[in-house]
Structure 1
Amino acid sequence: MPNRLRVLAAGSVVALIAVLIPPTAQAQQDFAITADVPTLEELDSQIRLLVGTPAPDHVKAAQLEGGDRAVVVPKMVYRIGFFRPPRGNSQVTGPETHDGDRHTAVINASRQGSPTIQVVAEWRRIDGRWKLANKSLCNGISTLGLPIPCNFQ
């Protein structure tokens, strides 16, 4: 019986490590939402990549309608650490709408000691990939009071 407990404990440690280790750089670089209709899980993964990881600028830019011009926003949110563990969290939920190359969902972001912020966000399908829309970044800048001009066009 003690050997069985050791195996179970070791398996739990491996599972915990797998959850805590961020995605590899290659997995981050290859991340793209290309389905006709994005799922909440895909959108949530994209937001976590943007604000919850130290992914390189070019990886984050590939997820944004504004590309390189807009990457300053998720970089600042990541550096501040508002919506990433251990102080915060984010989750994309419904309700959703879908109309051709536009999709909306709700980003719920929270940090310790503050109420949850809900932002209705829009994604646009550009060149076959779903990207967070500029207007969603501008809404986030305004909601968080970040000192960033909204000029990603």
Structure 2
Amino acid sequence: MPRHFAVIATLLIAVVTAMGAAPTASAQPAPTESVEDFAITSEVPTVEELDAQIRLLVATQAPDWVKAAQLEGGDRAVIVPKMIYRLGFFRAPRGYSQVTGPETHDGDRHTAIINAHRQGAPTIQVEAEWRRIDGRWKLASKSLCNGIKTIGLPIPCNFE
């Protein structure tokens, strides 16, 4: 029994250490704004807003309808961020994600780079596109499909 305790203690220390080493979020919903109310409605989205949206999608247990509201594919596309969250690829303590430039903006389309890292693997960079639909910036379905292919998830890309 003492040996099991030592193994558990070692794992716990490793998890706590990894959590401290992970980058912190650069943007989060405002303190008075719940995840249910999160929306990017600015004329041109900022990297911080896009980063907060990606974190909401892959690093939180937000309800499906909240995640669907952030995706061009809506309910059909929720399976992707749900699976990424369950696998824990890009959230503490095993990993992180961060949206960075370079960015492009053209009317109702905006692009930036999603950098995603998981422990023991190189950082993945995916050029992602967001589309402004009904006044809200949503992650484009083609970006989810690129992510599925890059990560190698067994999900058909049929939500475009």
Query: Normalised by the shorter chain, which TM-score bucket?
Result: 0.7 to 0.9
Residue in structure 1 matching 2:42, options 35, 42, 64: 35
**Which residue type is aligned with residue 94 of structure 2?**
R
Q: 1:136 matched to which residue of 2?
A: 143
Aligned equivalents of 2:144, 2:34: Cα separation in 1: 24
Q: What is the TM-score of this pair, normalised by structure 2? A: 0.80
- Secondary structure at the aligned position of 1:68 is classed as helix
**Which residue type is aligned with residue 116 of structure 2?**
A
The 5-angstrom pairing of residues 47-66 of structure 1 reads 47-66=54-73
Instruction: Please report how far the alpha carbon of residue 59 of structure 1 lies from its aligned counterpart in structure 2 after TM superposition.
Output: 0.3
Instruction: Please report how far the alpha carbon of residue 119 of structure 1 lies from its aligned counterpart in structure 2 after TM superposition.
Output: 0.1
Q: What is the TM-score of this pair, normalised by structure 1? A: 0.84
Instruction: Please report how far the alpha carbon of residue 121 of structure 1 lies from its aligned counterpart in structure 2 after TM superposition.
Output: 0.1
- Secondary structure at the aligned position of 1:35 is classed as coil
Instruction: Please report how far the alpha carbon of residue 85 of structure 1 lies from its aligned counterpart in structure 2 after TM superposition.
Output: 0.2
**Which residue type is aligned with residue 33 of structure 1?**
I
Residue 110 in structure 1 maps to residue 117 in structure 2 = yes
**Which residue type is aligned with residue 31 of structure 1?**
F
Residue 89 in structure 1 maps to residue 96 in structure 2 = yes
Aligned equivalents of 1:67, 1:29: Cα separation in 2: 15
Aligned equivalents of 2:152, 2:119: Cα separation in 1: 18
- Secondary structure at the aligned position of 1:98 is classed as strand
Identical pairs, percent: 79
Runs of 4+ in 1 over 4 A off after TM superposition: none
Residue in structure 2 matching 1:127, options 126, 131, 134: 134
Aligned equivalents of 2:104, 2:97: Cα separation in 1: 20
Q: Which runs of 5+ in 1 are unaligned?
A: 1-18
Residue in structure 1 matching 2:83, options 73, 76, 89: 76
Q: Which runs of 5+ in 2 are unaligned?
A: 1-23
Q: 2:159 matched to which residue of 1?
A: 152
Aligned equivalents of 1:128, 1:81: Cα separation in 2: 31
Q: 2:106 matched to which residue of 1?
A: 99
Deviations 1:43-95 (A, max 9, x none): 00000000000100000000000000000000000000000000000000000
- Secondary structure at the aligned position of 2:34 is classed as helix
RMSD: 1.9
The count of corresponding residues between Structure 1 and Structure 2 is: 134
